[in-house]
Structure 1
């Protein structure tokens, strides 16, 4: 069963869905907290994952990141701005919300994320010991490295100059600079300048997620550049960690994620999903990625043993 929910994140209302498994649970259900990646909204296939998890006996808190989809932005802050550390803290607020529900076992909470939120799931798992299991798929592990691969080297200087100009304009009371998330022109500026990014976001906007908007603030890219979630991987243990990697991922470099996995400490598991970054969400890739995460949470959140 799915219900609409909202909860407070220190003055910001976040909205989403709660999935309750069928049947009773002694002391409440184990629960997975879930949010989407860079600019994405919950309708872009998070419901598919939550349905798989709920069918296995896992409750799910699924929500839109602040300033995106159904969720509010912070007072005085623009919508469509992605601050990774705010999103990390919102995972923690969502955990608190889940723990406050009578139908959730507060001692059996897991976090799941994908792409940018896959990175967040690692950080949250490292800094918040309420988390008892982590699964992150097709993850970003280094914002600086991803910036270097996605922005042409001759555009680094002009991009940094644009960051500085945007800060000055905001300080004067002006509007934040914006840029598209994706573009069908591979030479045009875009936050995610790959053909598969364009295909995924435009397809899902048309088919499933009309609330998705093809823009983010320029500052989102500046904040992305300074985010290094891979450094938290060694700190997750003893919480069980699963990393799901697409070897042909050319948005966040699958080989970089696989290499970063080696820095994590057991208990951990690496799962390979066929294809590229967005293949994890549909078809055979979804079958692999959703089943792997489901089984990880069933095992480590002790479904049926509460």
Structure 2
């Protein structure tokens, strides 16, 4: 991984243990002489840190926040197998390992830790903050907040039996042969991709150019787990830690209505920022709005002086 320089100074490559699996990422120091607040961040469904997370990390670092950004297990520079498999509960536990590691760094004040997540990890950030009292503030951006409802919306009822048979067949094959079945993240309708919409195709196609380690596939079992993962069940337990939810007004991937319904169940203190566009708008078209909102929120609630 190459070094990059932000207004906070040079980031450095880091790695840490997560129950025997090495996770790798970048640490952005602030350059301050005293330990500072830190934000722990990881990417969404199938994505790797090179897909715009460096931009978010630099913006937060410029606001006086140290940042730890890493690749999920089984993805990018991190270890783990099967490759390209997303177990949401394992990723949540790895967030906790990342929090532990961040707290050991001499540049970090372990009493001022925030978590940031986007899309799939936007849901993770809620769950982590609900259960880990070390977290003092959380930003959840266009979160995958209700996998049960989005699963029902994506699969017509007439196809549910066939889908269940596919999941069962994959489990049997994996047990008997060790072979892991895959499906594309984007592609033609005949390929049955995870995201068939045009905006997803455009976004992930760009990601493939800027993040060479991203792969256009996930395991079939990933889909089985995602259909029963409901991060929104935990949202009322985030309080009294402050929550910022960033919602796109035309999110047909995670569901604008599902996000707003979850936000309404969250207890105070909470803040809502609605941006124009679809699920992938925060990374490019709405980057300035979303990065600035997160930086201001964390600087306020983790008590930094800003830059």
TM-score bucket (shorter structure): over 0.9
CA contact (8 A) 1:274 1:280 kept: no
| 1:288, distance to aligned residue in structure 2 (A) | 1.1
What CA distance in whole angstroms lies between the structure 1 residues aligned with 2:173 and 2:19?
27
Superposition pairs of residues 141-160 of structure 1, within 5 angstroms: 141-160=145-164
Aligned to 2:29: 20
TM-score, length-scaled by structure 1: 0.95
1:221 is the counterpart of 2:219: no
What CA distance in whole angstroms lies between the structure 1 residues aligned with 2:19 and 2:85?
17
Aligned to 1:286: 287
The one of 166, 185, 197 equivalent to 2:200 is 197
| 1:173, distance to aligned residue in structure 2 (A) | 2.8
TM-score, length-scaled by structure 2: 0.94
1:66 is the counterpart of 2:73: yes
3-state SS of 2:85 partner: coil
Superposition pairs of residues 1-306 of structure 1, within 5 angstroms: 1-24=10-33, 26=34, 28-73=35-80, 77-183=81-187, 185-206=188-209, 208-283=210-285, 285-304=286-305
What CA distance in whole angstroms lies between the structure 2 residues aligned with 1:166 and 1:297?
43
3-state SS of 1:132 partner: strand
Q: List runs of 5+ in structure 2 lacking aligned partners.
A: 1-9
3-state SS of 1:221 partner: helix
CA contact (8 A) 2:249 2:275 kept: yes
3-state SS of 1:277 partner: coil
Per-residue deviation, residues 182-217 of structure 1 (Å, max 9, x unmatched)? 11x2454011222111111111211x1011000100
What CA distance in whole angstroms lies between the structure 2 residues aligned with 1:6 and 1:139?
26
| 1:86, distance to aligned residue in structure 2 (A) | 0.3
Q: List runs of 5+ in structure 1 lacking aligned partners.
A: none
What CA distance in whole angstroms lies between the structure 1 residues aligned with 2:264 and 2:36?
32
3-state SS of 1:16 partner: strand
What CA distance in whole angstroms lies between the structure 2 residues aligned with 1:256 and 1:13?
34
What CA distance in whole angstroms lies between the structure 2 residues aligned with 1:293 and 1:281?
13
| 1:176, distance to aligned residue in structure 2 (A) | 1.4
